[in-house]
Amino acid sequence: MKDSKKVVIVGGGAAGFFSALSTKEHFPHLDVLIVEKSTKLLSKVKVSGGGRCNVTNACFDNKELAKFYPRGGNSLRKAFEQFNAQSTMDWFQKRNIPLTIMEDNCVFPKSNDSQTIIDCFLKECISKNIQIKTQFGVQSIEVLSDGTFLIRSSTEEITADKVIITTGGHPKRSGWEWIEKMGHSIVEPLPSLFTFNMPQNPVSALMGNVVEETTVRIEATKLMANGPLLITHWGMSGPAVLKLSAWGARLLADKNYHFSILVNWLNERKENDVRLEIEKVIEGHGGKMIGNLNPYPMTNRLWNFLLQKSLIEPSHRWKEIGKKGVNRLVNILLNDRYEVSGKTTFKEEFVTAGGIALEEVDFKSMESRVVPGLFFAGEVLDIDGVTGGFNFQAAWTTAWIAGKNVGSID
């Protein structure tokens, strides 16, 4: 005889646990089972945010919050009306997990330890009698004639009245094949959040240099991002590059990660303003050596590197720079071109762009529009955010909504 009124959640990660807890919160009478393919639960939560778990971002305007998602922002904007960053903070604080908002709005547990979040979830699961089964890798889900589900691993079968899929992202399409077989379309999965490789570029000799306010553009596209830029021994990284990698994930994959970027080392300052500034330096300090008088917020090493790129001799005096020299310098300061060839994953904090096509999911309930009774939450969806707690926020929001709606079992 089959179990009745059972919700099975596939995937024991952030979205899996949160949807289980939400289900029990809204429908305490239901049996809830989480199945996880590996032996480890919440493994990404453990390593997230460098072991500190950046649980959300203190952006409390839903419209603004949605802007941090290169994919899925529109769908999430509505979903945030049900559960947003404030809801996340309230949820944890209600469970005696104090949180801290950092200067950059990233939110961490005050303990600075992701284990606090894991312990909270596990404790809640015990108190709510949520069952957990590890080493159960789902290989297929069949919809039975009565609309219930038969879930198969390589060795076992279980039944469910409703299913929430929270299997996270996979860089390879094969991870989604069994969901595709249920009738869902998969938007081609690709990595997001990576740094740019510039093999053999002399700029890498300046590794460790950070310029706090830059704008980086992908040449011949409209893609641009601003923020700090970090020079590394393999190329460029830092928030500006990571944001650009997220917004450009699909386009850059199409280019096989071979493209050019234009760096504006002075952020969004306009050409005329920069010219005026340089003229003032020439007027006021014409006798000083160009290499020694650096008018911009960057290290002297980087300044001298940019002078050399502008074919300006650092030992010359400012008054000797000449009109052509000024033109070349302004151009390098505002449009410094680098060839990118390849990518490197940022501290392994990659997320997957792509996944379950969003138009096939009703974001009011997170229920599939293709298979009634099937729900989705987390990174398995074609949703991804930039760094800063946005990816977990998407997981909490979609999981909370799925749990709130999965219980309407006839």
Ligand X SMILES: Cc1cc2nc3c(=O)[nH]c(=O)nc-3n(C[C@H](O)[C@H](O)[C@H](O)COP(=O)(O)OP(=O)(O)OC[C@H]3O[C@@H](n4cnc5c(N)ncnc54)[C@H](O)[C@@H]3O)c2cc1C
> For binding to ligand X (CB under 6 A), which residues are involved?
10-16, 35-38, 43-44, 47-49, 53-54, 137-138, 166-168, 348-351, 378-380, 389-392, 395
Burial of 276 (0-12, 13-18, 19+ CB in 10 A): exposed
Dihedral over alpha carbons 283, 284, 287, 289 (to 10 degrees)? -100
Q: How far is the CB of 19 from ligand X (least distance, A)?
A: 9
Shorter beta-carbon distance to ligand X: residue 265 or 390: 390
Q: How far is the CB of 46 from ligand X (least distance, A)?
A: 9
Q: How far is the CB of 152 from ligand X (least distance, A)?
A: 10
Q: How far is the CB of 1 from ligand X (least distance, A)?
A: 25
Shorter beta-carbon distance to ligand X: residue 136 or 318: 136
Shorter beta-carbon distance to ligand X: residue 47 or 150: 47
The first and second tokens of residue 331, run together, are 């151009």
Q: How far is the CB of 124 from ligand X (least distance, A)?
A: 16
The candidate with the shortest Cα–Cα distance to 72, out of 377, 402, 400, is 377
In this chain, which residue has its C-beta nearest to ligand X?
13
d(CA 394, CA 361): 15
Paired residues of 7 in beta bridges: 32, 162
Shorter beta-carbon distance to ligand X: residue 110 or 319: 110
Shorter beta-carbon distance to ligand X: residue 227 or 325: 227
Q: How far is the CB of 234 from ligand X (least distance, A)?
A: 19
Question: What is the number of other CB atoms lying within 10 angstroms of the CB of residue 352?
Answer: 26
Shorter beta-carbon distance to ligand X: residue 240 or 380: 380
Contact yes or no for 258/341 (Cβ under 8 A): yes
Contact yes or no for 216/261 (Cβ under 8 A): yes
d(CA 85, CA 60): 6
- 3 state DSSP class of 192: strand
